[in-house]
Chain A
Amino acid sequence: EVQLVESGGGLVQPGGSLRLSCAASGFTFSSYSMNWVRQAPGKGLEWVSYISSSSSTIYYADSVKGRFTISRDNAKNSLYLQMNSLRDEDTAVYYCARVRYSYGSDWFDPWGQGTLVTVSS
């Protein structure tokens, strides 16, 4: 069964740091690009960051650029998101999602269950 399991969320003060992890299983992790997507309480989905299968291509949303760093360890089947200089507006459930491609189309499937990050003093 293809599965993604996030961890590492919690309560952190503004200006603090947190590292999220996403453990993948049931598929060849090293062959797939991955994303982080977040959802603030009661709000919609916001794409955060993308990393290609070999880590050669990385993208960030403007809202997190310069503060967040995406990385992966294909030997450990794991995806990471290092979050620094956290702000109140970073409070959200963070999901990792695998990218699927076919004939010029791409989509996210599956998604993990999410991990909650709360930034508050």
Chain B
Amino acid sequence: GAVVSQHPSWVICKSGTSVKIECRSLDFQATTMFWYRQFPKQSLMLMATSNEGSKATYEQGVEKDKFLINHASLTLSTLTVTSAHPEDSSFYICSERVRETQYFGPGTRLLVL
């Protein structure tokens, strides 16, 4: 399967600041990557689809100005949580699609104080 990395693995920030999370594909060129968030004891919720060289596609109810996605290269997609608030605290996970299968990164735990 594909190898996906995320950085940072853990971040704590103050309310009102912005946080950038990086997702890298280490062994495939990923034209499509996905961003999910996961609350404790819940399933994964798709936030957006990140397309290399074009705008991301956001799921219904996800604010695109709040969660900025950039996919400038075939190996890197970034998610920026702007003006973070405590309710944005969550586990953010990216994945890349290789043919039909999605392979996930290790996740980033965000805690907003």
A binds B: no
Residues of B in contact with A (beta carbons under 8 Å apart): none
Residues of A in contact with B (beta carbons under 8 Å apart): none
